[in-house]
Amino acid sequence: MTTADTVVTPVVADTGAWAAAIDVIRKPAPPYEGRFLHRDFQPGNVLFDLRSPGPAGARITGVVDWAGTSWGPVDLDVAHCATNLALLHGPAWGRRFAQAYEEAGGVLAAAASERLYWQVRDALACSEEVRSVAQPWREAGRADLTTRVVEERLDAYVSALMDGPAAATS
């Protein structure tokens, strides 16, 4: 599990944002109502049926790879998917996912600072394994996702999280 002492700050990082993010996870985890978690909830583990072209025609038909299940806060699974989307497509995608999750009826922590804790914890966990995160995506055809690109996107995502309104209250 990622701790403030195990975070690997990328060379390209906004050191101020990363220091603030590390301070977020120095605090104890916020209280949460435990739920059954996938723990690797991300686009590569979701199956879709595309009835018609475009996102509006997509329908989720399943979720695979349940090997890492656990019990914990829903925010952690949502944060993990958001981090993956940020690394795959850019920080805006990660920032939008939690909002889309709630719009679809999902329930996250009530306090923005609690949601931020889980978002930051998951993003910083990726810092320890950027190479191992980028490699499978390249093998799946995303040649653009070099280790450097993934590091830059992770930095931009962490910076965006720390620039948001929740960061000001944490």
Paired with 50 in beta bridges are 58
Alpha-carbon distance of 115 to 7, in angstroms, equals: 19
Alpha-carbon distance of 121 to 126, in angstroms, equals: 9
Is the pLDDT at 144 greater than 60, yes or no? yes
How confident is residue 83, by pLDDT bands cut at 50, 70 and 90?
Answer: very high
DSSP calls for 74-139: HHHHHHHHHHHHHHHH-HHHHHHHHHHHHHTT----SSHHHHHHHHHHHHHHHHTTHHHHHHHHHH
Per-residue confidence (pLDDT) for residue 131, from 0 to 100: 85
Alpha-carbon distance of 124 to 155, in angstroms, equals: 10
Is the pLDDT at 168 greater than 90, yes or no? no
Is the pLDDT at 165 greater than 80, yes or no? no
Q: Which of 13, 65, 71, 11 is nearest to 42 (CA)?
A: 65
How confident is residue 169, by pLDDT bands cut at 50, 70 and 90?
Answer: low
Contact, 150 vs 51, CB < 8 A?
no
Is the pLDDT at 166 greater than 80, yes or no? no
pTM: 0.91
